[in-house]
């Protein structure tokens, strides 16, 4: 299966996914990385692995839907089976969601539905929770509300900073995201309403 990754920043989850494909842990290959940020290190990661890297400047498009149509076109031209968000900081329009129904995946640094949106880690610390974690989910038209595929908890310590907690969550993300992608590639995820059923056998 061909994968496309949308990323706005450093791309550490992208790296984990690329590593997973190269090690044979994910039976797929990343064929395209798209960013809305010209200096996103994710693009450099892609180039290092000889993966097509595209920067699309949002300022050159009339609005969110026009921009998304350009991204959709690039993805569809490459016969991509799964679209992966890896630190992509743009909210996808309904146009984008409808182009790839049930085929867009995201990871979020909290145990959804708690602490959606920006600063999930900071929100958790300010709230004083004892457990946080990360969630891999399908993307729908609202922010961080799609069906949950996998979740894993991470303890929150009294002396945690946003940076220290985020790093522990990142470590889990880099393991959990490739696992979820492999489940999808192997056809082991089915949806019953909002519930993702994982077929391990």
Catalytically annotated residues: 108
C-alpha to C-alpha distance for 91 and 178, rounded to whole angstroms: 22
What is the rounded CA–CA span in Å between residue 181 and residue 72? Answer: 20
Phi-psi region of 175 (alpha: psi -120 to 50; beta: other; left: phi over 0): alpha
- Say if CB 108 and CB 116 are below 8 A apart: yes
Tokens (6 digits) for 125: 């610390």
Q: What angle do CA 120, 187, 134 make, to 5 degrees?
A: 15
Beta carbons within 8 Å of 16's beta carbon, 6+ residues apart: 173, 174, 175, 177, 178
Asked if 113 and 143 touch (Cβ cutoff 8 Å), the reply is no
Cα angle value 41/47/51 (rounded, 5°): 120
Distance CA 45, CA 40 (A): 9
């Amino acid at each position: 299966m061909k994968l496309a990754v949308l990323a706005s920043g450093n791309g550490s989850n992208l790296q984990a996914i690329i590593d997973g494909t190269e090690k044979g842990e994910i039976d797929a290959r990343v064929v395209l990385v798209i960013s809305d940020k010209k200096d996103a290190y994710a693009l450099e990661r892609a180039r290092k692995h000889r993966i097509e890297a595209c920067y699309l400047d949002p300022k050159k498009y009339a609005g969110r839907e026009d921009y998304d149509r350009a991204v959709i076109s690039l993805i569809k031209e490459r016969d991509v089976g799964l679209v992966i968000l890896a630190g992509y900081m743009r909210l996808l329009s309904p146009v984008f969601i409808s182009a790839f129904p049930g085929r867009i995946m995201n990871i979020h640094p909290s145990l959804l539905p708690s602490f959606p949106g920006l600063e999930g880690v900071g929100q958790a610390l300010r709230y004083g929770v004892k457990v946080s974690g990360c969630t891999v989910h399908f993307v729908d038209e609202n922010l961080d509300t799609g069906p949950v595929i996998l979740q894993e908890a991470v303890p929150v310590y009294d002396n945690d900073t946003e940076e220290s907690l985020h790093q522990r969550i990142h470590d889990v993300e880099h393991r959990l995201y490739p696992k979820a992608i492999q489940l999808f590639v192997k056809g082991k995820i089915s949806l019953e309403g909002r519930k993702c059923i994982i077929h391990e056998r």
